[in-house]
Amino acid sequence: MRSMVVIIALHILLAGPFFAPMSRLLIKNAKALVGTHPAGQGRVPGRSMANLPQIADGWLTTENGRITGLGSMSNFPGIADWTDLTVIDATGRYVLPGWCDPHTHSIFAAPRDGEFVDRIKGLSYQEIAARGGGILNSAGMLRSMSEDDLFEQAKARLEGMMQQGTVAVEIKSGYGLTLGSELKMLRVAARLKKEMPLQIRTTLLAAHALPAEFKEDRAAYLRLICEELIPQVAREGLAEFVDVFCETNYFTVSEMEQVLASGAEHGLRGKVHVNQFTSIGGVQAAVEHGALSVDHLEVMEPADIDALVGSGTIPTLLPSCSFFLRIPYGPARELMDKDLPLALATDHNPGSTPSGNMNFVLSLACIQLRMLPEEAIQAMTLNAAAAMTVEQELGSLTVGKRASLLITKEVPSLAYLPYAFGQDHLDTVLIDGKVIRSGTAIA
């Protein structure tokens, strides 16, 4: 009994503020508060993305997990009641909204580092898939894994992502490819939603690859998705969105349309994989079906970009995937020039992007997509939040929103974050006002 008390006391001492709920918090002297959008501001159109609102020399308060006030230190109104208040002096540090990651496959059974070596030796992603590797390889491994093991692994991945500043994540199924295993993945996601502090949205991606059992009868697999899986997932509230890998050798445009139509009937909006390797009309069809986002877009014809203009569909680029597979980068500047509200995500998955690090996405966006640091930050915060329908809650430093935010180390400029790539510039991460990562700003 006595040793238990000592262990608990030690735990509290070492873990510090993570376990001690901070109901009230004041951050003062921030070098700048970044992304201080007015209440009600939704997705930011491409040509405005460079105008990232900031307040230099700022203060910000939180209470019960929400942002309660912010402004410039020159107008700091003071605090009436200083009891039970944690004060963070953020001198030299930026305060940003936490990263939202609107496209991941973070539930999976095992890494595919063998395929990585095969690609170094010269095989392409498509050649590996044609040999039974790729998505089908992941599905084989996931089908035999228990729900508990999948949960523990995914939880550890999400914990790592939170340490790197991610406060909201979309997670797809798509490595089950049977009724039971797709549901198993979504139940794991539901448990993560309940037990993890970050915001999670889930997507049914049964149309990720054609399982071998249906090789001779594609239509039967489509029926399974549209007539059984989608209705059951909707009934049990297991997903908000539906996804399809619309690509040569995966699913056709018309198959994607069937899935999107069935999803719409059951209240699941589309968030689809299109134009990763080939342009086959998926963007146009997704727009016609009112998809929330079209993701990947590494191979875009002018007509694909034009189809997005005036639509409600958010183009989402995944530069870490381009980096890892050595495929083209999406046309970020062209999309922004058309005033489209570009979003960025990691695409975290074992095959094409074994990284859930949004800070690396920020560097790639600036270095490879030629986005300005301000544009990239908008794409990873408010526009990313909109691409997973959490923009009312997250994505900007706005009174009333969740106090899920990042405090950087002392850095010379905002541009230094993507510039000094591969280095860890975060000091503190808060989710709903609670310290998830405690750095020197708090100590």
- Positions touching Fe ion (CB under 5 A) are 347
- Does 157 interact with ligand NIG (rule: CB under 6 A)? no
Our CB check for ligand NIG shows the closer of 164 and 276 to be: 276
Task: Pick one of Fe ion, ligand NIG, none as the site partner of residue 90 (Cβ within 5 to 8 A by kind).
Answer: none
- Does 352 interact with ligand NIG (rule: CB under 6 A)? yes
Closest CA relative to residue 173, chosen from 228, 121, 242, 116: 242
73-81, 133-141, 307-315, 400-408 -> range binding ligand NIG (CB under 6 A): 133-141
Task: Pick one of Fe ion, ligand NIG, none as the site partner of residue 402 (Cβ within 5 to 8 A by kind).
Answer: none
Burial status of residue 219 (CB atoms within 10 A of its CB: 0-12, 13-18, 19 or more): exposed
Q: Which of residues 212-251 bind ligand NIG (CB under 6 A)?
A: 245
Our CB check for ligand NIG shows the closer of 164 and 349 to be: 349
Q: Of 273, 338, 348, 437, which lies in the binding site for ligand NIG, with binding defined by CB under 6 A?
A: 273
Distance CA 4, CA 194 (A): 27
Cβ 249 to ligand NIG, closest distance in Å? 11
Question: Which residues of 107-249 form beta strands (DSSP E)?
Answer: 166-172, 199-207, 241-246
Our CB check for ligand NIG shows the closer of 52 and 317 to be: 317
Q: What residues pair up with 314 in beta bridges, in sequence order?
A: 293
Residue 129 to residues 220, 251, 298, 433, Cα–Cα distance (Å): 22, 14, 19, 44
Q: Of 255, 298, 347, 427, which lies in the binding site for ligand NIG, with binding defined by CB under 6 A?
A: 347
Our CB check for Fe ion shows the closer of 170 and 347 to be: 347
Is-contact 29 73, C-beta < 8 A? yes
Residues that contact ligand NIG, how many (by CB under 6 A): 12
The pattern of x and - marking residues 290 through 329 that bind ligand NIG according to CB under 6 A reads -------------------------------x--------
- Does 373 interact with ligand NIG (rule: CB under 6 A)? no
Task: Pick one of Fe ion, ligand NIG, none as the site partner of residue 321 (Cβ within 5 to 8 A by kind).
Answer: ligand NIG
Residue 254 to residues 28, 239, 245, 316, Cα–Cα distance (Å): 55, 23, 12, 22
| Nearest residue to ligand NIG, by Cβ distance, number only | 351
- Does 54 interact with ligand NIG (rule: CB under 6 A)? no
- Does 134 interact with ligand NIG (rule: CB under 6 A)? yes
Is-contact 391 42, C-beta < 8 A? yes
Cβ 277 to ligand NIG, closest distance in Å? 9
User: Which positions lie near ligand NIG, rule CB under 6 A?
Assistant: 134-135, 138, 245, 273, 276, 321, 347, 349-352
